[in-house]
Structure 1
Amino acid sequence: MQKIYYLYHVRYEDTDDEDFRIIGIYSSRKQAKLAIERMKKKPGFIDFPNGFQIIASVLNRAEWLEGFVTC
């Protein structure tokens, strides 16, 4: 079972809108955290340093097992 780590950033403003960016996919949580340290000093991210999130996933395994949902 090989894990990967998605690093993304979500910026919430005073509205219901969100600004979502995938930063990268890393081989370890440590590498993802190092990327956060590099990225949080960049324009835009410096103003929203708490928007970074890391999600662990397993390669070759479906994450979404339900059908397509509409509202």
Structure 2
Amino acid sequence: MDVYLLRHIHHARPLDGSPTRHGDDDGDLDWDEHEGDEVKLLGVYSTEQRAQERIREAQTLPGFRNEPDCFHIDKCQVDKDDRTSGYFTYRY
């Protein structure tokens, strides 16, 4: 069974005054929590269509409407393990 996780990314403004970056060079949504970007989980939905409907509703709300293109839907399988080989933390 697949589910759809819906997140919104609030991008932090760079301290050097440069423009806020919302996407990578390919135009895909980009974020970095180490740089102050905030990721908010809006919900888990049974279909992508329901997640899209929630995006349309959220785009009218304070905060979300300031970054209306910064929603991300992730398709996940229920009961499927992830990160089965552990993880590594990078030190900056």
TM over 0.5: yes
Match status 1:8 vs 2:27: no
Tell me which structure has the larger Cα radius of gyration: 2
Aligned position for 1:20: 39
Q: Say which structure is richer in strand.
A: 1
3-state SS of the aligned residue for 1:68? coil
Aligned position for 2:67: 48
Percent of pairs with identical residues:
23
List runs of 5+ in structure 1 lacking aligned partners. Answer: none
Match status 1:39 vs 2:58: yes
Count residues in correspondence.
70
Give the Cα separation in 2 of the matches to 1:70 and 1:42: 35
Deviation at 1:55, TM superposition (A): 0.2
List runs of 5+ in structure 2 lacking aligned partners. Answer: 15-34
Q: Say which structure is richer in helix.
A: 1
Deviation at 1:5, TM superposition (A): 0.2
In angstroms, what is the RMSD of aligned CA positions? 1.1
Moved beyond 3 Å, runs of 4+? none
Aligned position for 2:48: 29
* TM-score scaled by length of structure 1: 0.90
Deviation at 1:66, TM superposition (A): 2.3
